Amino acid sequence: MRSLLSLSSSWLLVLGLACGPNSNGQGDEGLGPIESLDTSEAGITAFVREGRYRDWVAEPKVHATRAPHQARVRVFFNDTAVTSLRAGNAVHPVGTILVKELFAEDGVTKKGHAVEVKVAEGPGKDTWLFYEGFTPDYTRNYYGRGHDTCHGCHAAGTDYVTTPLP
């Protein structure tokens, strides 16, 4: 019984670790720039903090999320994402980028950003680089190709994209 208990608590520990932000700001999958985005963790952090996606096609307004954790969201689509979603592609091309702004309940206070970047052609979780960072300092982020925290829910989308083009 005792060993069973300690076994289950170590599993809880493993699960807990797998669910938390696990990168220190310095991650780099070594993929270089994609569509002029520096795909290192620091590169994506700078990109979202500077709002370099703000002139992309976007959902018309901030709305309640269907996912847990953050309260309200707004999704932005780069040109490659727009073209691919419009064409109804089952698999999106390299260079498809989506940014989700995360807000508190008031819909104004920014809580962070989630990003998906298509980094390889074809299907599968490893063709996507996932990133999520949080205000104020974006030092404890989710970052990684086929990230374990992210791909599960997103598998329900079309090639991991769940938000329809507005």
Q: For residue 139, how many other CB atoms are within 10 A of its CB?
A: 13
**Residue ranges that bind ligand HEC, judged by CB under 6 A:** 65-68, 73, 75, 98, 100, 114-116, 130-132, 142, 147, 149-150, 153-154, 157, 161-163
Q: Which is nearer to ligand HEC, 1 or 88 (CB)?
A: 88
Minimum separation from the CB atom of position 95 to ligand HEC (A):
15
Which one, of 116, 130, 120, 125, lies nearest residue 163 by Cα? Answer: 116
Three-state DSSP at 98 gives strand
Q: Strand runs (DSSP E) across the chain, as ranges?
A: 33-34, 37-38, 57-58, 63-64, 72-77, 97-103, 110-118, 128-134, 142-145
Q: Which is nearer to ligand HEC, 9 or 15 (CB)?
A: 15
Q: Which is nearer to ligand HEC, 51 or 157 (CB)?
A: 157
Minimum separation from the CB atom of position 13 to ligand HEC (A):
19
Minimum separation from the CB atom of position 6 to ligand HEC (A):
28
Minimum separation from the CB atom of position 101 to ligand HEC (A):
10
Three-state DSSP at 59 gives coil
Q: Which is nearer to ligand HEC, 9 or 105 (CB)?
A: 105
Three-state DSSP at 142 gives strand
Minimum separation from the CB atom of position 133 to ligand HEC (A):
9
Q: Which is nearer to ligand HEC, 131 or 138 (CB)?
A: 131
What distance in Å separates the CA atoms of residue 31 and residue 39, rounded to the nearest whole number?
Answer: 6
What distance in Å separates the CA atoms of residue 18 and residue 104, rounded to the nearest whole number?
Answer: 24
